[in-house]
A and B are shown apart, each in its own frame.
Chain A
Amino acid sequence: MSIIEVRELTKVFRQPVKGPGLAGAFKHLFTQKYVEKRAVDNIHFSIDEGEVVAYVGPNGAGKSTTIKMLSGILIPTSGHVSVNGLIPHKQRMENARSIGVVFGHRTQLWPDIPVMESLTLIKDMYDISSEDFKKRMDFFVELLEMSDFLHVTARKLSLGQRMRADLAAALLHEPKIVYLDEPTIGLDVAVKQQVRSFIKKINREKHTTIILTTHDLGDIEELCKRLIIIDKGQIIFDGPLESVTDQYARERVLHFQVMERVENPHQYLQGLPGCRLEEKSDTHFSVYFDKTLLSASDIVSRFLGAANIIDFKIDEPKIDDVIKHVYEGKLHLDPREESV
Chain B
Amino acid sequence: MIRKIYISLANRSMQETMVNRTSFILNIGASFLIILSSYYLWKAIFAGRDQLGGFSWEEMKAYLIISFLSNTILSYFSEVKISQKILDGSIAFDLLKPIDFQKARLAETVGSSVFEGLVSVVLAFLFLFLYEGVAVPESPITWVFFIISFILSQTVKYGVIYIFSIFCFWTTGFLGVALARAAVTSLFSGALIPLSYFPSTLQKICTILPFSSIVHYPISIYLERMDNIEILGIIGLQAFWAIALWFFGKWFWSQAVKKITINGG
A touches B (Cβ under 8 A) = yes
Decide yes or no whether B30 CB sits under 8 A from chain A: no
Distance, CA A26 to CA B14, complexed state (A): 10
Closest chain B residue to A30, Cβ basis:
B21
Given A22, A24, A32, which contacts B21 in the complex, CB threshold below 8 Å?
A: A32
- Report chain A residues within 8 Å CB of B24: 29
Residues of A near B19 (CB, < 8 A) are 18, 25, 28
In the assembled complex, the Cα of A253 lies from the Cα of B66 at a distance in Å of 68
> In the complex, which residues 19-60 of chain A have their Cβ closer than 8 Å to any Cβ of chain B?
21-22, 24-26, 28-29, 32
Contact with B along A110-154 (1 / 0, CB 8 A): 000000000000000000000000000000000000000000000
Closest residue of chain B to A20 (Cβ to Cβ) is B15
The answer to whether A25 and B18 touch across the interface, beta carbons within 8 angstroms, is yes
Instruction: Report B13-41 CB contacts with A as 1/0, cut-off 8 Å.
Output: 01100110100100000000000000000
Q: How far is the CB of A158 from chain B (nearest CB, A)?
A: 13
User: Could you tell me the distance in whole angstroms from the C-beta of B256 to the nearest C-beta in chain A?
Assistant: 20
Report the nearest A residue to B24, measured CB to CB.
Answer: A29
Interface SS of chain A? helix
The total of chain B residues at the interface (CB under 8 A) is 7
- Residues on B with C-beta less than 8 A from A28 are 18-19, 21
Query: Which B residues lie within 8 Å of A25 (CB)?
Result: 14-15, 18-19
CB closest chain-A residue, reference B16: A25
Chain B positions within 8 Å of A22 at CB level: 11, 14-15
In the bound complex, residues from chain B placing their C-beta under 8 Å from that of A24 are 15
Closest CB in chain A relative to B14 CB, distance in Å: 6
Q: Closest A-chain residue to B15, C-beta based? A: A25
Contacts of B14 on A, CB cut-off 8 Å? 22, 25
- Cβ contacts under 8 Å, A32 to chain B: 21
Alpha-carbon distance between A23 and B19 when the two chains are bound, in angstroms: 12
- How far apart are the CA atoms of A21 and B11 in the complex, in Å? 8
Q: Quick one: closest B residue to A18, CB to CB?
A: B19
Q: Which residue of A lies closest to B14 (CB)?
A: A22
How far apart sit A22 and B14, CA to CA, in the bound complex (Å)?
Answer: 8
Distance between Cα atoms of A32 and B22 in the complex (Å): 12
Residue of B at shortest CB range from A24? B15
Per-position binary interface string of chain B over residues 206-250, scored 1 when its CB falls under 8 Å from any chain A CB and 0 otherwise: 000000000000000000000000000000000000000000000
Contact status A26-B18, CB under 8 Å: yes
| A28→B23 CA distance, assembly (Å) | 13
Give Cα A24 to B11, complex, Å. 12
Q: How far is the CB of A14 from chain B (nearest CB, A)?
A: 15
Q: Are B15 and A29 in contact (CB under 8 A)?
A: no
Chain B hits for A18, CB < 8 A: 19
Interface residues of B (CB under 8 A from A): 11, 14-15, 18-19, 21, 24
A-B contact pairs, 9 of them (CB 8 A): A18-B19, A21-B11, A22-B14, A24-B15, A25-B14, A25-B18, A25-B19, A28-B18, A29-B18
**Which 5 residue pairs of A and B lie closest in terms of their CB atoms, listed nearest first?**
A25-B15, A25-B18, A29-B18, A29-B21, A22-B15
